[in-house]
Copies of this chain bind each other. A is one copy, B any other.
Amino acid sequence: MPDDVGHEIADALGALLRRGARARLYARLTGNLGEAVDETTYPVLSGLARTGPCSAADLAGEIGLDRSGVTRRATRLEEAGLLCREPDPDDRRAILLALTETGQQAVQITRQRLVTIIEASLASWPPEEAQSFAHQLHRFVTTGPFAKS
């Protein structure tokens, strides 16, 4: 493989992981969804949407955060009505974090916004090129330098 392929991807990834890029994207995704959902609380919503109802400790492992941080963010989201705590029926000392209807809608909205943004920026691409790019990006992310270990 020619070396410039690696360099080109490295440039792109570098730009992608910049602070400003993340901040701009999160701002566009979480705007007008209430004060509680922002760059810090959204990973809790998103992670909970992926895992389904689960404990704060498990969710902490999922999103790479300390359990205390998850608890605090969950409290903020609970006060905003996006998330609810319900007792675990199998273990009465445990508490399950679960999305409310509003919370699920919020996740759905942000997700749709991201899809819309992506499709808009791919509008001028040949369809089969966009499709192959999607597959390759998916493969690269799941098997590449970002796999969990």
A: which residues have CB within 8 A of B?
A: 1-25, 28, 43, 46, 63-65, 111, 114-119, 121-123, 125, 127, 129-138, 140-146, 148
Contacts and interface: CB of A to CB of B under 8 A. Distances in A.
B119 A5 contact: yes
Contacts of A8: 134-135, 137-138
Given A43-B18, A140-B122, A115 B146 contact: no
A64 B5 contact: no
10 contacts: A1-B122, A2-B131, A3-B119, A5-B131, A6-B122, A9-B138, A10-B118, A19-B43, A19-B64, A21-B146
A129 B136 CA distance: 9
A5 B121 contact: no
Q: Main SS of chain A's interface residues? A: helix
Nearest to A28: B145
A24 B148 CA distance: 8
Contacts of A143: 121
A117 B9 CA distance: 11
Nearest to A114: B10
A69 B78 CA distance: 33
Given A1-B122, A5-B131, A122-B140, A65 B115 contact: no
B145 A12 contact: no
A115 B16 contact: no
